[in-house]
């Protein structure tokens, strides 16, 4: 059998459909791999048009988490969950707690967290039914807002990219474009300004722009993300939605480095090659934006911000490792990142076959 969930294309360990008619819960939990440990990944609450669409999303997202967690050096596998429905109308205490009971029923094979449509307060509710929950509020022993270390990790990836490309981590005077100054982007701007970079931003939300300008009046504003990408920059940092690197933006991009927080920045796989052909250094998104998962996963050990920050600092060295592997093996950095993650999953994951008790 080579198609569907059991097919070679998928390779997932376990996919669980969860239903509680009374509360209206319809969820799918997908575990891609537990080779390195329990499968950690957030819960996306979204009004999918169909069950098939939800399934396709959770399969792709859970695989992505396995790679992200492996490359972040965590002892965690990869999983993800989706709850089908509009969070604005169907999210209730009963539904979240029903979901929590299904998470608990997996006995720790899957550990959940926030994602699109779920917030720290929701995780506090889920945690009333399950021990296997991260991303809770600080009052509940949680790590709180994961954007803090996500932005810090992206900044580390950016310094590593600068070191690889220019031989120095110094960003003083470098022109950096940040597309999207939401939860992560605005903190990244703080780091960049502190490092002496000249920052240009874009956002569809005037309020988001105003917040940055109030803190840093010297920051320039581009009319939109496309105009920002086409403007003279040293670094382009996509921090809004996915697909920022596409057939429209890459040909006009003037930055030498792309390093940002957004997930799934490459609109299509061939964009990776286009970036390489244009001599643009691309820091793989799931490598540099792992600070958030590093932050929430620290909750599993009793949250300690300083320890989580130290772990997120390692994104600097991993980024250098990925660029070195890319050069050594003659592949683009995104392929090198995948290879490094796969090697860790197989080499370290294999050790579990040595019985220690």
Ligand X SMILES: NC(=O)c1ccc[n+]([C@@H]2O[C@H](COP(=O)([O-])OP(=O)(O)OC[C@H]3O[C@@H](n4cnc5c(N)ncnc54)[C@H](O)[C@@H]3O)[C@@H](O)[C@H]2O)c1
What residue ranges bind ligand X (CB under 6 A)? 146-147, 150, 179-185, 202-205, 208, 225, 239-241, 261-263, 289, 292
Dist. CA 283–CA 270, nearest whole Å? 16
Dist. CA 257–CA 106, nearest whole Å? 42
Minimum separation from the CB atom of position 25 to ligand X (A): 24
Dist. CA 228–CA 253, nearest whole Å? 9
Going by C-beta distance under 8 Å and a sequence separation of 6 or more, which residues neighbour residue 143?
Answer: 134, 135, 136, 295, 296, 298, 299, 303, 305, 308
Backbone angles phi and psi of 40, in degrees to 5? -100, 135
Minimum separation from the CB atom of position 228 to ligand X (A): 8
Going by C-beta distance under 8 Å and a sequence separation of 6 or more, which residues neighbour residue 49?
Answer: none
Cα Dmax for the chain: 61
To the query of whether residue 80 is one of the catalytic residues in this protein, the response is yes
Nearer Cβ to ligand X (209/325):
209
DSSP tag of 181: -
Minimum separation from the CB atom of position 160 to ligand X (A): 17
**Helix, coil or strand: residue 95:** helix
Nearer Cβ to ligand X (38/177):
177
320 and 179 Cβ atoms separated by less than 8 Å: no
| Catalytic-role residue among 26, 63, 68, 80 | 80
**Helix, coil or strand: residue 43:** strand
43 and 98 Cβ atoms separated by less than 8 Å: no
Nearer Cβ to ligand X (98/322):
322
Nearer Cβ to ligand X (121/168):
121
Going by C-beta distance under 8 Å and a sequence separation of 6 or more, which residues neighbour residue 335?
Answer: 272, 326
Minimum separation from the CB atom of position 188 to ligand X (A): 9
What residue is closest to ligand X based on CB?
182
Nearer Cβ to ligand X (33/289):
289
Minimum separation from the CB atom of position 94 to ligand X (A): 27
DSSP tag of 266: B
Nearer Cβ to ligand X (161/289):
289
Minimum separation from the CB atom of position 142 to ligand X (A): 13
Report, as residue numbers or ranges, the catalytic residues.
Answer: 80
């Amino acid at each position: 059998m080579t198609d569907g969930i059991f097919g070679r294309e998928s390779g997932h360990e376990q996919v669980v459909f969860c239903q509680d008619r009374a509360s209206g819960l319809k969820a799918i939990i997908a575990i891609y791999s537990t080779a390195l440990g329990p499968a950690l990944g957030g819960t996306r609450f979204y009004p999918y048009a169909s069950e098939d669409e939800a399934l396709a999303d959770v399969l792709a997202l859970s695989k992505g988490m396995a790679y992200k967690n492996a490359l972040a050096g965590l002892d965690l596998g990869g999983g993800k969950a989706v709850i089908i429905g509009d969070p604005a109308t169907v999210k209730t205490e009963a539904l979240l707690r029903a979901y929590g009971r299904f998470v608990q029923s997996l006995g720790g094979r899957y550990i959940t967290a926030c994602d699109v449509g779920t917030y720290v307060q929701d995780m506090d509710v889920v945690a009333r039914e399950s021990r296997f929950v991260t991303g809770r509020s600080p009052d509940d022993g949680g790590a709180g807002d994961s954007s803090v270390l996500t932005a810090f990790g992206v900044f580390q990836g950016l310094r590593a990219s600068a070191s690889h490309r220019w031989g120095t981590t110094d960003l003083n005077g470098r022109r950096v474009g940040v597309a999207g100054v939401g939860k992560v982007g605005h903190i990244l701007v703080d780091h960049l300004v502190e490092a002496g970079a000249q920052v240009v931003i874009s956002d569809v939300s005037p309020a988001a722009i105003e917040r940055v300008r109030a803190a840093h009046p010297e920051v320039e504003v581009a009319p939109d993300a496309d105009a920002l990408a086409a403007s003279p920059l040293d670094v382009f940092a996509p921090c809004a939605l996915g697909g920022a690197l596409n057939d429209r933006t890459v040909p006009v991009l003037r930055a030498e480095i792309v390093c940002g927080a957004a997930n799934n920045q490459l609109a299509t796989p061939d964009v990776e090659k286009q970036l390489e052909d244009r001599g643009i250094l691309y820091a793989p998104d799931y490598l540099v934006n792992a600070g958030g998962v590093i932050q929430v996963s620290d909750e599993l050990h009793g949250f300690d911000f300083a320890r989580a920050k130290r772990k997120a600092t390692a994104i600097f060295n991993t980024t250098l490792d990925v660029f070195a592997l890319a050069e050594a093996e003659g592949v683009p950095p995104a392929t090198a990142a995948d290879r490094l993650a796969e090697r860790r999953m197989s080499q370290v994951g294999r050790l579990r076959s040595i019985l220690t008790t």
